[in-house]
Amino acid sequence: MATKTPLHVTVTGAAGQIGYALLFRIASGQLLGEDQPVVLRLLEIEPAMGALEGVVMELDDCAFPLLAGIEATSDLATAFDGTSWALLVGSVPRKAGMERGDLLSVNGGIFKPQGRAVAENAASDVRVLVVGNPCNTNCLIARSNASEVPADRWFAMTRLDENRAKSQLANKAGVQVASVTNLAIWGNHSATQFPDFANARIGGKAAGDVIPDDEWLHGDFLTTVQKRGAAIIEARGASSAASAANAAIDTVVSLRTATAPGDWTSVAVASSGEYGTPEGLQFGFPVVADGAGGWSVAEGVEHDDFAAERIALTTEELVAERKDVGELGLLP
Ligand code: NAX
């Protein structure tokens, strides 16, 4: 029997498709461990409260031994009260005809107050993972409006891209995906991201030595990973949900447990200027976790001209997004 004090976990957009794939796994212990009871704090907008009620009924019907309570609410203060992990999933996806500025503006309206609500209500050890797109800049908005919460507690999700890239490399090499390590996603979770195949390793060897197909690595591999989200929408008629929920779980587990020696994990963090990245951007880096809640950007990763050009492009996009949301008055 679990004897630990329950930790509160907030999920926003809890009645959405990622929420549906995520909540049951959190309640079963896959997020914080099999000896850690959790209280789920579920945020939705008013029109989705009915659907959320149904999800809560299903959670009840699972009789999860670790689920110590459920709070379903449309009130920000209640949703973030005492929370230790806030998974910000709910956002408004880009619709046909929407310009980037519209998207940033609509979502800024969500993430600015949520940032404040985290600062005012969360537990002192709170960590925040933003999944809702555009996740890097949404995270930047929330973090910038919550200066009481240290910058190193804010994360935006690039792990789905890492997992996609590892799977592509493993399939091409004909090996198990677990043998692919050191796969970093640099920059923005968008089509400009750079999945760094040159520093990836397969069974401990450089990926380029195991897959001696430069044309594929520089071409189809990159575009497949960058456009995987669109390919899933095309095939499924709906965007990635189970794989996104899985990546959110992977991100949290990788941040709270020690990274294997020599390896790293992909997550977008507040840049302190590492690798020449402008300070303060929420930027995808290779990250090493110490197992005690701390993390650092992996040092000494080298890039050739091809990689440097790609990283410059994704950096430019994030700088432009920051400028846009600044002009919209979303950054203090
Ligand atoms: P859904 O549209 O199924 O669910 C979103 C839910 O958020 C809805 O139930 C909606 O009512 C709720 N919501 C909207 N505004 C809210 C607010 N202000 N407060 C609380 N809840 C609110 O989308 P879903 O497929 O679950 O995707 C959620 C987000 O994840 C989207 O922004 C999507 O683009 C993003 N993704 C991010 C990924 C990543 O790797 N970072 C990959 C998957 C996904 O595309």
Task: Look at residue 125 in the predicted model and tell me its pLDDT.
Answer: 96
What radius of gyration do the chain's Cα atoms show?
19
- Average pLDDT on 96-104 reads 79
For residue 52, give the ligand 1 atom closest to its CA: 9
* Percentage of the residues of the chain whose pLDDT score is greater than 90: 92
* Alpha carbon nearest to ligand 1 atom 32, residue: 132
Asked if the model's pLDDT at residue 82 lies above 60, the reply is yes
Matching residue, tokens 């979770």:
189
pLDDT band, residue 102 (cuts 50/70/90): confident
Out of 11, 17, 18, 234, mutate this one to test ligand 1's pocket (max ligand atoms within 8 Å of CB): namely 18
CA distance 292 to 316: 33
Ligand 1 centroid from CA 89, angstroms: 5
What is the structure's pLDDT at 1? 53
Start-to-end CA distance of the chain, whole Å, equals 46
131-184 pLDDT, tens digit each: 999 999 999 999 999 999 999 999 999 999 999 999 999 999 999 999 999 999
**Main-chain dihedrals φ then ψ at residue 147, nearest 5 degrees:** -65, -15
Ligand 1 pocket residue status of 15, Cβ below 6 Å: yes
Distance 18 CA to ligand 1 centre (A): 7
18 lines ligand 1 (CB under 6 A): yes
Report, as residue numbers or ranges, the catalytic residues. 189
Backbone angles phi, psi at 146, to 5 degrees: -135, 55
Name the residue with the closest Cα to ligand 1, atom 2. Answer: 16
Q: Does residue 185 register a pLDDT over 70?
A: yes
pLDDT of 2 over the 60 cut: no
pTM of the model: 0.97
DSSP state of 258: P
139 pocket-lining for ligand 1 (C-beta < 6 Å): no
Tokens representing 248 are 């959110």
Ligand 1 centroid distance, CA of 324 (Å): 21
The pLDDT assigned to 17 comes to 96
Average pLDDT of every residue of the chain: 96
Q: Is the per-residue pLDDT at 246 higher than 70?
A: yes
Q: From atom 9 of ligand 1, which residue's Cα is the shortest distance away?
A: 16
What's the rounded mean pLDDT across residues 230-234?
91
pLDDT at 96: 72
Q: What is the DSSP string of 272-289?
A: SSGGGPPTT-EEEEEEEE
pLDDT at 104 over 90: no
Q: Residues 260, 226, 326, 44: is their CA dihedral positive or negative?
A: negative
Q: Indicate if ligand 1 lies below 6 Å from the C-beta of 137.
A: no
* pLDDT value of residue 101: 79
Question: Is the shortest distance between the CB of 72 and ligand 1 below 6 Å?
Answer: no
Helix (H), strand (E), coil (C) string for 49-67: HHHHHHHHHHHHHHCCCCE
244 lines ligand 1 (CB under 6 A): yes
